[in-house]
Structure formats: structure tokens, C-alpha cells
Chain A
Amino acid sequence: MSEKLLEIDGLCVAFRGQQGATQVLSQANFAVAPGEVVGIVGESGSGKSVLALAIMRLLGSAGVITAGHIHFEGRDLVGLPEAVLRAIRGSRIGMVFQEPMTSLNPLFTIGYQLGEVLATHLGLTGAAGRERVIELLGEVGISAPRERAAAFPHQLSGGLRQRVMIAMATACRPKLLIADEPTTALDVTIQAQILELMRRISRDAGTAILLITHDMGVVARMADRVLVVYAGQIVEDAPARQLFARPAHPYTRLLLAAMPTPRHKSQRLPVIPGTLPAPSRLPPGCRFHPRCPMAIAPCRVSPPDLIELGAGRRTRCIRGPELLAERPPGLESVP
């Protein structure tokens, strides 16, 4: 087995509320190899962003890691003091969020903010720092970087702001970039540019990317491997090509089929009945069973494990192996 950059082991996260703690992420297990692009997909409320925040230890006051380990470059991030974490964030782990406007300080120029990252983590100040800022802005495809460095965040478009965020996140050549819905707020032609930029950075600098998104199309364009999250659990894990060719979990399969595509006219979209259950009101047995057209008696009582299917694939479905067959029973009509 090759060296892993990041290894998540039995990670559980709970949120404290008025009615006590509610578990929002259960027993997440997965690893990311150096340079690997791993996509984490799920619908809103699935727990995918909680997973990203937990890895960065940025859950805030209400969220707590109740169990598990986050091994990153040989250290367990769970239990590390905030001062050490702060040094890791920004230098070893870069972060990009959905809305760059809220991550950038509106009172300072983007050149100043990027310079601050270089000064804090690399001790690069003065003229050398200023030159590096301009170089970095150029690297992320910002034209006239010398002039743009003097701009305030509100003077830039959403696409340019996201380029600035990526420049800041990758300034210290981190080994891991965690990107949480980095293109969700952008128009589709700008999204294509930002995805291309992230792909290039990953390829050129060997940066691993953990890409969190609700968009199966974005994942397909970017990821080597995909984790599908549902109701706080990883329900499927597979190399991207295999996952899209033949999903091994009914939820993945339905999610793909429910997505209308501009490639062809679909007469009727297959729907997943009902909605995602709230973390405080999870059904017994398999968490997807009330919405699953393939559910059978055992699904209603015993929670399934994430079972190995071979070839780097895992599914949390006792009927997963059947799904790899030609016409899975109960899903005959789903393309």
C-alpha cells in the first residue's frame, strides 16, 4: 500500500443543541494519496461540509469530534492545539470556500492579504514578498497582476475573487487543498475556468485535492476517486470512472439519473421519493431504506456496513453486488 497523505479513521462529529448532541457524521473512513483528487458528493445536509470542516478542525463552538482520527503527514490532527493547527492550515493544508467575498477581508487590498499569507507562513516580506504576490496572481491567471494587486475584493468579479482565494490557498505549496463548493456561486463558463485552474495546480505541484460538491458533473470532470455521502455516512467509494459507469449504491444511481442533462431530452426524470432525513430523526436500519426502491426486509432493521467490492470499491448496501449486474431488480427503469 502506498504512502497516504491523509487518513481519516472512524471520524464522528456531533453538534450540541438544546436537546443534547446530535451526530451528523458517523464513522467516516477513507484515505487520500499524495496528488490524488478525491470528490465528496452529497446533497445539502448530507454531512459533506461537516467532514471538510472537521478535517481542518474548523467546526466552531457547536461541533465536536466525538471519535476517530485524522492522520495528516504522520500527525493526528485531532487533539492538536490550535496554535499548531493554525500553522498547518494555510501552509500544509489550503482551503477554498464557496463564497470568496466572505473569506476575503473587504478593508484590505488583495495584494496585502496575499502578502500577509507569505509573511506569516514563509517569512517573505518587503520587496521579495511584493514580487511573489504578483507572480502568484499571474499564476492563477489574473491578467495585469501588478494593477490588480492594488484592488479591493469588491472591485473584482466572483471568478477573479475565487482565483485570488486559490492563489492564497496554494501560496505555500500545500500538500492538500480542501475546496468546499468552490465553483457553486460562479457562472458555468467561469466555473469551467476555475476547475481547469485547480486541475493544473494539482498536476503541476502534485497537490492532493479534496473537492466537496453537490454537482456530479463537477466531480466527473475533476476527481480520480469519489465518495458519496448520505445522511452523515459514506455510502459509496469508488474510482471515478467505475462509479459513473456503474454505481454500486441505489442512491448514487438515482442521483445520477435524476440529474437532467443538456445532452439529451429526458421524457421523465426518475425521482427519489421523500427527502433527506434530519440527523436527529434517522430511520432504523439502512438510512436510505425509506426512499429506496430496492429495499428488502433486512434493510429496515440492520444498518449495513461499508462493504468491500474489490478493485478499490466500497458500498454501504447489502444489495450492492446486485447493482453491478446488468439490470438491478427494482431499478430496471433507471438508466
Chain B
Amino acid sequence: MTEPLLSAAHLSKDFPVAGGGHAGARRLRAVEDVSFTLSAGETLGVVGESGCGKSTVARMVLRLTAPSAGEIRFLGQDITHLPERALRPLRRHLQAVFQDPISSLNPRLRVGDIIAEPLTNLGVPGPQRRARLAELLDLVGLPADAAGRYPHAFSGGQRQRIAIARALAAGPRLIVCDEATSSLDVSVQAQILNLLSDLQGRFGLALLFISHNLGAVRHLAHRVAVMYLGRLVEIAPEAELFEHPHHPYTAALLAAVPEPFPDRPVPPPLAGEVPSPIEPPSGCHFHPRCARAEARCRAEAPQLRPLPGSGALVRCHFPG
């Protein structure tokens, strides 16, 4: 069996919390024991509410944050603790698009220089670079004269196209999209989602698509991972996860999405709020808000296990 493009095994991340009384005694466990794989041409969606750890997972995969435990393998290499020098040749294959394009694009560089920067870093000579730049602008649907202008002259959707063009420049294998369409209006979001799926089809890109927008995730993802308070609670093929959610949190999350059908009965909202990750609940993190919770859920943390007869892995004592 061939190795997947990316694999994360038992990733955890702790952050020290200030004001803990004993110095360094308090820790915030942002991510706990998260494992997944991603193959070429595949999109893994990661969903969850604020503070669930999905962006920390993205940052660890991108090597912007060092994991406290666990291993990340990319293109057949363990990159978890690879020094920056050794990582550099892999960087061109591992790119990112973030939520707010204006803060991730250097305002003092022309768009052409922003997009071609990865090529400059790779030492691609001028004429080839210019040809590639023209090709990239065309790929993401930007006019050729965009190269000479500055980022502020563009709308939010166009800036996200610039960010995507830069991510594509060096011919990546994987693009991590962290809330990449979240600040866009619906009509523009649709353009960017279509663009991402076109580019994936053309280049066999793998996408790690992190979003709180479940509609956007369903549109793009082949498999979906759901996170709650640092833990992966369910991971399943897209159709199964959305049609037959097994974890009660997945079901509650799906039910909460308001949809443009006024006649549909509104399910009662999930009670309570996400607890503090500094003092997470005992046992299953979701038990205080869960209608299915029993004594066992308070005492014992469930493991992420394959659910027999399904394609899903579920972290629940009483999966539905």
C-alpha cells in the first residue's frame, strides 16, 4: 500500500496559561491525540466551533506551530521536527491560504511580485518566472494587468485569488485552506469554491479545508473530520457524515445550521456553551451538553473507534 501524501498521528498541542498559581502548572490542551491521513487529489474538511483546535491542527501541519506530541509525515518524510533548512525543499509542496487575504498579502509589494515570490525563492530565472506569472493569473481568473497593481486595489474575492495564485506558484501537492472563504460574500464564496475544485481536478491537489461553514465543507470535501474541544469526535466520508451523523455533536452541529427553507421545522438548539479548554469536562468532553450522556460518559473518555458497518470513526460510547 502506498503511503498517503500527508499523515498526522496522535497530534497534541498544549499551550501554557498565564496566572496559573504555580508557575507553568496550568496548561490549555488545544489539540489532543488527533490522527488523520490525506491523499493526493483528496479534500479533507475539518469542522468545529471556535476553540475546537482546527486552526491549531492547520498550523501544526504547516509547521508554523510545533506539536507537543505526535508525528506529521509529508511526502514520505517525518517532518515533525525537521530543521527549517531540511524542510525548505518540501515547503514548495506545502502551501496555505488563510481567511483574511489583506493581512496575508504584503501591501507594499505589487501583486506580480507577491505571486512570483515563491518562484524567486526557488531561483527560477526572470523570463520563466514572467511566463509562469501570466499562466497563474489566468488560472485563478485575474486580469493580466493585475500584476502591476497593489493588493489594496482589489476586492476581497480578488485578493483571495491572489493568495491562491501565490499558493499555486511553485506547484504544490497540498494546500491548507484555513477559513479561506469565511470573510467572503456568498456570491464571491461560490466563485472561490468553484476555483478550488477546478484547480484540484487539474493538478490533483490535496486540500485540507478547515472551515466553520458546513455548506462550504460539504461542497468541497471527500471526507470530513469534526472536532470538539481539541478532540476529533468523528471522521467519515462526506455523504455519510452529512446524511447519517453518528456522533451526537455532529448531529447537533448540522441541525443548528440555518437553511433557506422557512417551512422546515426548527430543531431545539443545543443547550449550553463549549466549556473552557483549561478545565475540560471529565470523561467525554461533550457529555454536559449531550442528550445521550450516561454515567459512563462522565467517567470514561471514549476512544475514536471504527463504527462497525460504516465508514466512520466515532468517539462516542453510544454512537447513533
Contact = CB atoms under 8 A, between A and B. Distances in A.
A266 interface: yes
B266 interface: yes
Given A216-B186, A265-B239, A244 B214 contact: no
B190 interface: yes
B258 A220 contact: yes
Interface string A261-302: 111111011111001100000000000000000000000000
A287 to B, nearest CB: 14
- Residue in A214, A223, A259, A260 whose Cβ sees the most chain B Cβ within 10 Å: A260
A189 B263 contact: no
A191 B155 CA distance: 28
Interface string A202-228: 000000000000111111110100000
Contacts of B197: 268
A276 B242 CA distance: 33
Interface in B196-232: 197, 212-219
Given A216-B260, A221-B258, A244-B262, A192 B214 contact: no
A214 B187 contact: no
Given A221-B258, A266-B219, A188 B186 contact: no
Which range contains the number of B residues in contact with the other chain? 35 or more
Given A189-B49, A244-B260, A259-B215, A221 B266 contact: yes
Interface string B252-267: 1111111111110010
B46 to A, nearest CB: 15
Interface in B139-163: 155, 157-158
A260 B219 contact: yes
B189 interface: yes
Nearest to A275: B155
B258 A265 contact: no
B66 interface: no
A44 B190 contact: no
- Residue in A160, A188, A216 whose Cβ sees the most chain B Cβ within 10 Å: A188
Interface string A163-182: 00000000000000000000
B267 to A, nearest CB: 8
A90 B217 CA distance: 40
A262 B242 contact: yes
B115 to A, nearest CB: 20
Given A187-B50, A244-B260, A261-B259, A192 B187 contact: no
A268 B194 contact: yes
B249 to A, nearest CB: 9
B293 to A, nearest CB: 16
A276 B185 CA distance: 10
A261 B261 CA distance: 11
A43 B191 CA distance: 15
B89 interface: no
A305 interface: no
B252 A189 contact: yes
B299 interface: no
Given A43-B187, A187-B49, A215 B263 contact: no
B263 A241 contact: yes
Contacts of B238: 265
A32 B26 CA distance: 53
A220 B218 contact: no
Contacts of B158: 275
Interface stretch (B91-99, B101-109, B268-276): B268-276
B187 A189 contact: no
A187 B214 contact: no
11 contacts: A43-B187, A188-B257, A191-B256, A192-B270, A193-B270, A241-B263, A260-B189, A265-B242, A266-B219, A269-B193, A270-B190
Interface of A: 43-44, 157, 159-160, 187-193, 195-196, 214-221, 223, 240-241, 244, 254-256, 258-266, 268-272, 275-276
A-B complex: 10 closest residue pairs judged by Cβ atoms: A217-B258, A260-B215, A192-B269, A187-B49, A258-B190, A269-B190, A43-B185, A260-B219, A272-B187, A262-B214
Given A240-B262, A271-B187, 7 more contacts: A44-B185, A160-B273, A188-B253, A189-B253, A255-B186, A261-B218, A263-B242
